[in-house]
Chains A and B, each alone.
Chain A
Amino acid sequence: MVVEDLSVRLKAYEGRAAVLGGHGKDPVNAPMIRHWCEALGDTNPAYTGPDAIAPPTMLQVWTMGGLSGHATARSPVYEELLSLLDDAGCTSVVATDCEQEYLRELRPGDEITFDSVIESVSERKTTKLGTGYFVTTRMDVRVGDEGEIVGTHRFRIFKYAPATTKKTEPKPQRPRPVVNRDNAGFWEGVERHELLIQRCADCATLRFPWLPGCHACGSPEWDTVRASGEGVVHSYVVMHHPPFPAFEPPYAVGLVELAEGVRIVSDVVGVPYDKVRIGMAVRLEFIRYDAELVLPVFRAEDVAEVVEEVVDEVVA
């Protein structure tokens, strides 16, 4: 099996160098010590003043590559191990264990060097985070020309493929309106929560939906009128089939006659689909369906009676 092959290949990295001849980017220094103590709320006086030592738990900090990383320290062998794991889908990493031994204190001015060896690579393991491999490295941290060992640092990471969290399918989105130069003004109005009706600039005939010319006189000149928002259900259909994503049939689609006399197709809301009636008074409102989509819909005006009927049905 592919997976077992990988385990065998990974085992072969044990005992090989992870870092060779690493150099601390900065010598042990007071500002980094102070920043660390500030972040962690550590007020130990041993870490300040002329005789300050570095907090021993900063051992690893002096070996970190920082934002720009270490140019050469990481061995090609270790890079290879990590990219093998990446290729196996184990692209995420989390540190799980850190074991440090401090052989002597570090003081500002100390120049750090370090070497690290791949101590072990685990079998394939599954944790809450996902499935992957534990990789343990052991680092010796040295100071000075003689390379005196000042600390050891054993570090274990879990390199894993994130568990596929039960993805709740994103709710399908409503279809986007097709916006073109002939109707852009309408959708800009909707964005401002205004329902704009086109009016012929020559004969004043209202028209909806938006069109380039007047159907009464043919004039291409127009301006707009803001709909008052009052209307009645002129007609409606109840959609049962076909089901479209983002819509839950059955639902009522109304042809609403606005007080201004033009008609618009939209949802009738605030009333069950089977309680929509011709002549029902409705009022315009705007609903935001998602980050990009606002639509004008029509809410049934006086639904007390209707709702009572529904409640009765439910109770029954």
Chain B
Amino acid sequence: MRAGDVLPPLEIEITRTLVVAGAIASRDYQDVHHDPELARHRGSPDVFMNILTTNGLVGRYVTDHFGPSAVLRKVAIRLGAPNYPGDTMVLTGTAETVDGGTVVVKVIGDNGIGRHVTGTVTVTLPMGEVE
């Protein structure tokens, strides 16, 4: 792994089930993540994925790639276009820096309406796995 290397993309189907299951698994009962009618009342066209789920998916994307021995050190994300049911988000990643066993990956998640997430993930790998 060298700076500039690209991770294979990961497609995530944004189903209503994923949105709701992610919200509940993260103990987030904000109505905009499970109640379409109240979501509309608040100016959103539908329920949308909560930030904890996005955070988890960004982390998963990186550990899926580097394997179970990789250790997440930092995940920083910023949200943009919401993930609404029926959409697909494609996560892509690029190694920004590689320093010893520490890799910083820039992650981008785009959906049908724009850029859902930009993030930076710092992960450490056991020595010898960085190549």
Contact of A57 among B18, B59, B68, B71 (CB under 8 A): B59
Known: A36-B26, A38-B21, A61-B52. A100 touches B42 (CB 8 A): no
Residues of A within 8 Å of B68, CB to CB, are 44-46
B78 at the interface (CB under 8 A from A): yes
Q: How many residues of A are in contact with the other chain, CB < 8 A?
A: 39
A27 at the interface (CB under 8 A from B): no
The smallest C-beta distance from B93 to any residue of chain A, in angstroms, reads 15
Q: What 1/0 mask marks residues of chain A from 259 to 275 whose CB sits below 8 Å from any chain B CB?
A: 00000000000000000
A92/B43 in contact, CB under 8 A: yes
B21/A163 in contact, CB under 8 A: no
Inter-chain contact count A-B, CB under 8 Å? Answer: 108
Contact of B64 among A38, A44, A66, A92 (CB under 8 A): A44
B42/A102 in contact, CB under 8 A: no
A57/B78 in contact, CB under 8 A: no
- Bound together, the chains give a CA A130 to CA B60 distance in angstroms of 32
Main secondary structure of the interface of B (DSSP, over half): mixed
The smallest C-beta distance from A298 to any residue of chain B, in angstroms, reads 38
The smallest C-beta distance from B13 to any residue of chain A, in angstroms, reads 10
B72/A39 in contact, CB under 8 A: no
**Size band of the B side of the interface?**
35 or more
Residues of A within 8 Å of B53, CB to CB, are 39-40
Known: A98-B51, A98-B76, A101-B73. A56 touches B59 (CB 8 A): yes
Main secondary structure of the interface of A (DSSP, over half): mixed
Q: What 1/0 mask marks residues of chain A from 113 to 142 whose CB sits below 8 Å from any chain B CB?
A: 000000000000000011000000000000
A44/B73 in contact, CB under 8 A: no
B7 at the interface (CB under 8 A from A): no
Residues of A within 8 Å of B94, CB to CB, are none
Can you list 18 A-B contacts (CB < 8 A)? Answer: A36-B26, A40-B56, A42-B56, A55-B59, A57-B58, A57-B75, A58-B56, A60-B26, A60-B52, A61-B25, A67-B29, A92-B42, A95-B51, A97-B76, A97-B77, A102-B72, A129-B43, A165-B43
Question: Which residues from chain A sit less than 8 Å from chain B, CB to CB?
Answer: 25, 32, 35-36, 38-42, 44-46, 55-58, 60-61, 64-67, 92-102, 105, 129-130, 162-163, 165
